Structures are given as structure tokens and as C-alpha cells.
Amino acid sequence: MQIRSQWVFESEPHHIWPNFLHTRMDDRRPLLFRLGIPKPVSCKVLEGEGALGATRQCTTDRGTIDQRIVAFEENRKLRYRMIASTVWCRDWVGHLEDQFTLTPLEGGRTKVERLTEFRAAGWLWPVRQIGLWVALAQAHRYAARNWRRLSEARKIGTLAAPVLAKRTTGEIL
């Protein structure tokens, strides 16, 4: 199953990109997170920099999700695959892969596209599939609001961009 989201940010790709590799979310708790869906708290690249093959870790209020970076084109494309998790619903997930694509637009704006591919696993997988769809759709909305806020702060200079990535391009299949 797939979830596709797209937004236009009033920032250039280099203001948005750091949010995919090293960021901290706000403290808001939309309703679904209050009902037990894991709320994203932060993400970071464990090896210190974004690169093909590196591990990105998403920390939630319910545990961590480790993801292998399988495609990396700085300021343009990031794709990663879940490789481990301590989140309570980890046994629900048979496959989870996310891709972000940044497309520059006129006027210093950027189209941000997110594609999440996932497959539920285990007993009652069809019910779990619906649960995963609801949780991941909420995560899309919540993360996008945070990335917009952070990229706009970075654009006006109130948030410094972390030292980032080796300029590595490629894909792992």
C-alpha cells in the first residue's frame, strides 16, 4: 500500500533538506498521537552525516525506528527502508520504505513530495494495514508542518543548518 503527500514550501531545497537528516519536532500532540500512535520526536543520522548506506534513526514517544538510506541525492531525493524498531507496533510492519523528493519552483519555493510504501504483517494483517495507513497519514501531516516551520526559520536565519552530508549520490537496491 502507498501513501502519497505533496506540499509547496516557501523555502528553497537547501532550507528543507536538513530536516530529513537531523531535526527535532515540536511538542504538539494531535489527537491520534494521544490515542497511542507513535509521535515523531526527532530524527538523526547515526553516523553523523547523511550518505548512501547510513542509518537514519527516528525517535518517537514509543521507541525508535532505524532506517537504512538506500537513495541519497543531496537537496533532491532521500529514500530509506526500515531495518529495525523498538516501537510497540513493530510486529505489524512487514515492509516500510519512505521517499522524499524536492523539486525547486519559481520564486524560491519547493515542491516536497513524500511517498511511503508499506505492507502489514502477521495475524489480522488487513486490519493492521488500515491501522498503519491511519498512523502513517497522521505522521505525514505532522512531519510536514514541522518541516515547514523549521525550513522557514532556517530561511530567515533563526535556525542554523547542521553540518551535513558528504556529497554522495546513488541508490542501494
For residue 119, is pLDDT > 60?
yes
What local confidence, expressed as pLDDT, does residue 9 receive? Answer: 96
pTM of the model: 0.86
Phi, psi of 88 (to 5 degrees): -55, -30
Contact 115, 4 (CB under 8 A): yes
Query: What CA–CA distance (Å, rounded) separates 13 from 109?
Result: 8
Most confident of 28-32, 71-75, 142-146, 163-167: 71-75
Secondary structure of 102-151 in HEC code, one letter for each residue = EEEEHHHEEEEEEEEEEEECCCCHHHHHHHHHHHHHHHHHHHHHHHHHHH
Domains of the chain: 2-160 (3.30.530.20)
Task: List, for residues 129-143, the tens digit of each pLDDT value.
Answer: 999 999 999 999 999
- Of 7-21, 76-90, 145-159, least confident by mean pLDDT is 145-159
Locate the DSSP E strands across the chain: 2-9, 23-24, 40-45, 55-60, 63-73, 77-85, 93-105, 109-120, 170-171
What local confidence, expressed as pLDDT, does residue 102 receive? Answer: 98
For residue 163, is pLDDT > 60?
no
For residue 161, is pLDDT > 50?
no
> Three cell numbers at 131?
491501522
